[in-house]
């Protein structure tokens, strides 16, 4: 009895730590979530004495956010979406944030403290035009502050209290684009100025209360205007002509317009290029950028211009900031070798500097692109200034009193591609075992863990448990672990910067602003394209570092010359770079490596010529042996054509032995009047498949059709290529194809009538799952197609397999017509999707899960068994044993299946899965505006214990059991002896 009691107690005690649920104190142990806002394009400070000091920003990722000025943390934010571009922001009434978006058609007011939307107003208009937002300081109508908005070819006065349009003045008939709206001091008249075409300048005097046009004037400038315009005073504007070499001063006095032109070459000695007016706002002054020189020009009486200063270093200029009633200051930021030089000056006094500071800065941040300033009162009653600067790598910094107060790596909100790299091996002599400091700490830690498991922990205890687990988890070490959880995520951002993120906590290990992807005289519009693994040394070559290949383009068009950069994955150092003479339309990583473990790549240019890299004799020798078996394809969704190509001999002329001509071997032309390509998908080139055979009910065997050459294509009716609901079910259809990309043979085709896109698809093993909208049912659907190889059907005889009389090892050719059978099924699905992926594991043994990025920016894991095409209403007993679920018309959404828990990965764009060394586990990285990382076990962790398993407690349990057995054995012996004496 005693033995049974001890066994029951200790087994129950051990099992408490084996629960698979996620407790409160485990959050952050296996996952992390980092929030960003993106590259800031506008900023408005709010630093009143009452309330928190904050800055409101809008970004190129269409995010509006409120940031804490003390630490740079996010108070609140809203991601408006890719189709709702933010045009302008401002603050009114001291408590509302006003945003203008969607090309001037949507105005919103947000509550400043908490970000709640107060009102939303949709402006009617049909003429696309430039948009702007203006909040005049002294303009009120019936005690209501007025917001002036121009968009969709109309000028509006909007109430700041409820968003109601007080009046509307259309200008679409005149084809007028308003450039500026300003209000003279203590006047109910506003001036609206703009251009009709590029030659005619027009000025309107409008009654601010009624919207009635009081007076209209125009002037014609024969040279034409470029559209660049600066408002420098209440009656003077300066514009740039169409050649961008002449500055035109426009003076409005007594309703009359006078023009005065000045050649930029007369102001800037040696000027022979084109100029642009910087969008900064100043009083009686403007900044003109010409090449690498920024010229500050003062506007004097009569519209005459004079040069104040020329700045040759890369610089950025802020808007003017009102300090006193008659004084305004602005900031000039220049970048030196390793320092940022911040100068604050008065608009009307160039000779004196209010502030002149130099701050050390990381060179990997690049140039300063924008600066916003704000003032505060120091203890000695003097004015101090803080500067918010946006760097070339899209990072955000706050400068104050000669220091960087805080910085944000907001370039990570614009990731365009990712890769992974293993960490280095641990050096010999360094132990990875956990070290307990003393017995008291050891006991305290286990008591806290026990309280947390029994849900008796206080909030302070939960914090202590979480900190203890994070400290002892070893997940942030810079060496490999035996489970393969610790890796480097190498990401490429839109700014042309590489980051290495540690999978343990998401910290930046190193970053590199690629010199080859920075703007220069030789490359005016660089852009990054893709990221590939270039060199992955064998695990015996411990002294070699892996490296990645960054592919870019020097220009906007597809025919622009390419750029290659090779970067060390451990140090972030650029090993070398190449400026190519040919373009890059497609990159094909090959399955071959040379003796140095460099992977061979084919680069296809816009003329369909192929170039081999690395350019070494060894690479050519390896490539020539396999060249007859190399094929590739291209998808031209604009022309509705898919083409397949084969490699031929060297390029005509023979001057480049690493260049190869290609020939078209097949093509599929979809009729433009009935179909339009909208989506494609293919298998991962590095996907591991454990077995080709699939054992089904009644111990039958089906063989998967495994081919890396299978291509999934989705087309829709041309009318159905728009948004959901833009067409009727009768005039829309969705057609999907499975195509062999070697021969162009269509293996399977299915039509979904009354359906349309967008289509999201994932291809894995021998199945493809795709998501679309069913117009007839008014619901989203998810369909699955599985393809099986019938030519292997004769291998079901066990004796043939034993005796080797099977054809499993027979060579397979894409040119032989495959005997395939296809199974498919469709299900209703509740959510709209943003992206979709499938889990991947090291050996391909673990069952698959679909990872679905929902419209709510969360990641949902859906077991592949739910989209099995063999599901039926009444599965047989054998099918139930196989794991086939009963058929339902809709796929279930289980709340516990959200691997992102309650976290929203704002602006979610893509989900990446990476296999760990542990077969049961797959690593998941989701990115958009935010970054989220976790690891999941689709079949649970059947091959390992949990990370927080207490080995010390297990040892104590074993010792306790042994002691209990020994004690009970002694007591039993004594009892038997007493019984015998009786």
Query: What ranges do the domains of the chain cover?
Result: 600-669, 951-981
Model-level pTM? 0.86
b/e map 294-315, b = 16+ CB within 10 Å: bbbbbbeeebebeeeeebeebb
Long-range contacts of 572-580 (CB under 8 A, 24+ apart): 572/498, 572/500, 572/509, 572/510, 572/511, 572/512, 573/512, 574/512, 574/514, 574/515, 574/516, 575/547, 577/514, 577/515, 577/516, 579/516, 579/522, 579/523, 579/554, 580/611
Alpha-carbon distance of 698 to 563, in angstroms, equals 57
Provide the H-helix boundaries in 616-737. 617-626
Q: In the Cβ-directed half-sphere of 967, how many Cα atoms lie within 13 Å?
A: 10
CA angle 219, 220, 222 (to 5 degrees): 155
List pLDDT tens digits, range 4-22.
Answer: 444 444 444 434 343 334 4
Rounded to whole angstroms, what are the CA distances from 438 to 442, 766, 951, 958? 6, 55, 16, 22
Alpha-carbon distance of 197 to 221, in angstroms, equals 11
List pLDDT tens digits, range 204-263.
Answer: 888 878 888 888 888 887 778 877 788 887 778 888 888 888 888 888 876 678 888 888
Alpha-carbon distance of 38 to 181, in angstroms, equals 29
Q: Which residues pair with 360 in a beta bridge?
A: 339
Alpha-carbon distance of 745 to 817, in angstroms, equals 9
Note the pLDDT of residue 179. Answer: 78
Nearest to 42 by CA among 75, 23, 67, 15: 67
Structure tokens at 962: 């042994």
Where does residue 845 fall: left (phi above 0), alpha (psi -120 to 50 degrees), or beta otherwise? alpha
Note the pLDDT of residue 859. Answer: 94
Which residues are within 8 A (CB) of 917 and not within 5 positions of it... i.e. 6 or more apart?
482, 483, 484, 842
Which residues are within 8 A (CB) of 242 and not within 5 positions of it... i.e. 6 or more apart?
198, 223, 224, 225, 226
Alpha-carbon distance of 338 to 360, in angstroms, equals 6
Note the pLDDT of residue 858. Answer: 92
User: What value does the CA radius of gyration of the chain take, rounded to a whole number of Å?
Assistant: 34
Alpha-carbon distance of 736 to 756, in angstroms, equals 11
Alpha-carbon distance of 774 to 754, in angstroms, equals 6
Rounded to whole angstroms, what are the CA distances from 359 to 73, 93, 705, 947? 22, 36, 62, 44
**What 3 state SS string does 210-263 have?**
CCCEEEEEEEECCCCEEEEEEEEECCEEEEEECCCCEEEEEEEECCEEEEEEEE
Structure tokens at 115: 């970000």
Note the pLDDT of residue 347. Answer: 80
Rounded to whole angstroms, what are the CA distances from 906 to 74, 110, 395, 418, 853? 13, 19, 18, 18, 11
The burial class, CB within 10 Å (0-12 / 13-18 / 19+), for 480 is: middle
Instruction: Sort strands 922-927 and 610-613 into parallel, antiparallel or unpaired.
Output: unpaired
Return the SS3 of 879: helix
Q: Give me the torsion for CA of 897, 901, 907, 911, rounded to 10°.
A: -50
For the chain, list residues with pLDDT below 70.
1-29, 49-51, 126, 128, 137-143, 172-175, 185-186, 254-255, 270-272, 427-446, 449-456, 465-474, 539-543, 697-698, 792-816, 946-951
Cα-Cα end-to-end distance for the chain: 23
Note the pLDDT of residue 454. Answer: 63
Neighbours of 730 (CB within 10 A): 10
Alpha-carbon distance of 27 to 454, in angstroms, equals 17
Where does residue 93 fall: left (phi above 0), alpha (psi -120 to 50 degrees), or beta otherwise? left
Instruction: Sort strands 305-311 and 315-317 into parallel, antiparallel or unpaired.
Output: unpaired
DSSP string, 523-546: -SSEEEEEEEEEE---TT-TTPPP
């Amino acid at each position: 009895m005693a033995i049974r009691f001890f066994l029951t107690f200790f087994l129950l005690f051990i099992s408490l730590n084996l629960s698979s649920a996620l407790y409160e104190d485990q959050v952050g142990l296996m996952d992390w979530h980092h929030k960003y806002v993106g590259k800031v394009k506008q900023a408005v400070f709010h630093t009143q004495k009452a309330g928190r000091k904050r800055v409101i920003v809008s970004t190129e990722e269409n995010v509006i956010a409120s940031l804490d000025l003390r630490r740079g943390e996010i108070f609140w934010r809203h991601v408006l979406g890719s189709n709702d571009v933010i045009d302008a922001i401002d603050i009114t009434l001291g408590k509302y944030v006003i945003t203008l978006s969607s090309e001037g058609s949507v105005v919103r007011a947000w509550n400043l403290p908490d970000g709640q939307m107060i009102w939303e107003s949709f402006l009617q208009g049909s003429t696309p035009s430039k948009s702007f937002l203006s909040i005049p300081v002294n303009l009120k109508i019936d005690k209501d502050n007025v917001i002036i908005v121009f968009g969709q070819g109309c000028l509006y006065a909007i109430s700041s209290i409820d968003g109601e349009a007080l009046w509307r003045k259309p200008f679409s008939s005149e084809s007028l684009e308003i450039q500026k709206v300003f209000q003279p001091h203590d006047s109910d008249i506003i001036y609206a100025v703009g251009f009709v075409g590029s030659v005619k300048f027009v000025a309107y005097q409008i009654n601010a209360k009624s919207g009635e046009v009081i007076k209209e004037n125009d002037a014609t400038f024969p040279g034409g205007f470029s559209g660049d315009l600066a408002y420098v005073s209440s009656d003077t504007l300066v514009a740039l002509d169409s050649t961008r070499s002449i500055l035109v001063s426009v003076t409005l006095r007594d309703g009359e317009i006078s023009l005065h032109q000045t050649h930029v070459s007369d102001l800037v000695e040696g000027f022979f290029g084109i100029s642009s007016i910087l969008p900064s706002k100043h009083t009686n002054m403007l900044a003109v950028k010409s090449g690498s020189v920024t010229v500050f020009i003062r506007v004097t009486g009569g519209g005459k211009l004079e040069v104040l200063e020329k700045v040759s270093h890369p610089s950025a200029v802020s808007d003017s900031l009102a300090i006193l009633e008659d004084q305004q200051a602005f900031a000039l930021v220049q970048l030196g070798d390793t320092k940022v030089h911040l100068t604050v000056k008065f608009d009307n006094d160039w000779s004196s500097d209010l502030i002149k500071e130099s701050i050390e800065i990381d060179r990997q941040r690049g140039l300063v692109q924008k600066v916003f300033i704000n003032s505060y009162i120091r203890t000695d009653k003097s004015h101090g200034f803080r500067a918010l600067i946006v760097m070339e790598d899209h990072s955000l910094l706050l400068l104050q009193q000669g220091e960087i107060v805080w910085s944000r790596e907001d370039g990570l909100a614009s990731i365009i591609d990712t890769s992974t790299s293993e960490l280095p091996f641990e050096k010999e002599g360094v132990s990875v075992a956990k070290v307990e400091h003393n017995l008291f700490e050891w006991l305290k830690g286990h008591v806290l863990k026990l309280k947390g498991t029994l849900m008796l922990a206080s909030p302070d205890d939960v914090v202590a448990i979480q900190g203890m687990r994070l400290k002892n988890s070893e997940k942030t070490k810079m060496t490999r672990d035996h489970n393969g959880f610790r890796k480097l995520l190498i990401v490429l951002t839109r700014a042309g910067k590489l980051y290495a993120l540690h999978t343990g906590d998401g910290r930046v290990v190193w970053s590199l602003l690629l010199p080859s992807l920075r703007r220069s005289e030789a490359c005016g519009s660089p852009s990054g394209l893709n990221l590939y693994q270039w060199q992955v040394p064998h695990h015996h070559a411990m002294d070699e570092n892996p490296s990645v290949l960054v592919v870019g383009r020097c220009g906007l068009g597809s025919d622009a010359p390419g750029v290659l950069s090779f970067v060390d994955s451990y140090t972030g150092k650029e090993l070398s770079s190449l400026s190519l003479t040919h373009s890059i339309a497609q990159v094909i990583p090959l399955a071959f490596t040379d003796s140095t473990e460099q992977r061979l790549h084919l680069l296809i240019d816009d003329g369909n010529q192929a170039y081999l890299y690395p350019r070494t004799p060894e690479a050519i020798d390896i490539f020539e042996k396999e060249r007859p078996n190399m094929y590739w394809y291209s998808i031209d969704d604009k022309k509705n054509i898919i083409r397949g190509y084969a490699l031929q001999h060297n390029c005509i002329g023979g001057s480049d032995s690493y260049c190869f001509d290609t020939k078209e071997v097949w093509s599929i032309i979809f009729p433009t009047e009935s179909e339009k390509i909208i989506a494609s998908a293919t298998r991962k080139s590095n996907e591991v498949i454990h077995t080709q055979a699939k054992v089904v009910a009644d111990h039958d065997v089906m063989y998967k059709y495994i081919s890396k050459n299978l291509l999934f294509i989705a087309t829709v009716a041309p009318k159905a290529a728009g948004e959901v609901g833009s067409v009727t079910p009768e005039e829309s259809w969705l057609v999907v194809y499975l195509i062999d990309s070697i021969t162009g043979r269509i293996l399977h085709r299915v039509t979904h009538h009354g359906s349309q896109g967008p289509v999201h698809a994932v291809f894995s093993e021998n199945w493809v799952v795709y998501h679309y909208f069913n117009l007839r049912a008014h619901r989203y659907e998810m369909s699955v197609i599985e393809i099986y190889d019938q030519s292997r059907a004769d291998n079901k005889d066990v004796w043939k397999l034993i005796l080797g009389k099977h054809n499993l090892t027979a060579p397979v050719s894409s040119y032989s017509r495959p005997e395939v059978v296809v199974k498919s099924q469709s299900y209703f699905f509740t959510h709209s999707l943003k992206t979709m992926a499938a889990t991947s594991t090291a050996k391909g043994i673990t069952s698959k899960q679909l990872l679905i990025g929902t419209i709510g920016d969360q990641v949902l894991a859906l077991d592949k068994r739910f989209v099995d095409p063999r599901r039926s209403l009444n599965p047989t007993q054998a099918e139930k044993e196989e794991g086939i679920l009963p058929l339902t018309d809709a796929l279930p959404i289980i709340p516990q299946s959200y691997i992102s828990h309650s976290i929203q990965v704002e602006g979610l764009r893509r989900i990446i899965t990476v296999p760990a060394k542990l077969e049961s586990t797959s690593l998941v990285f989701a990115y958009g505006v935010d970054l989220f990382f976790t690891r999941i076990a689709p079949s649970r962790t059947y091959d390992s214990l949990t990370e927080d398993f207490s080995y010390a407690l297990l040892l104590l349990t074993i010792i306790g059991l042994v002691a209990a057995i020994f004690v009970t054995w002694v007591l039993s012996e004594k009892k038997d002896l007493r019984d015998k004496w009786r």
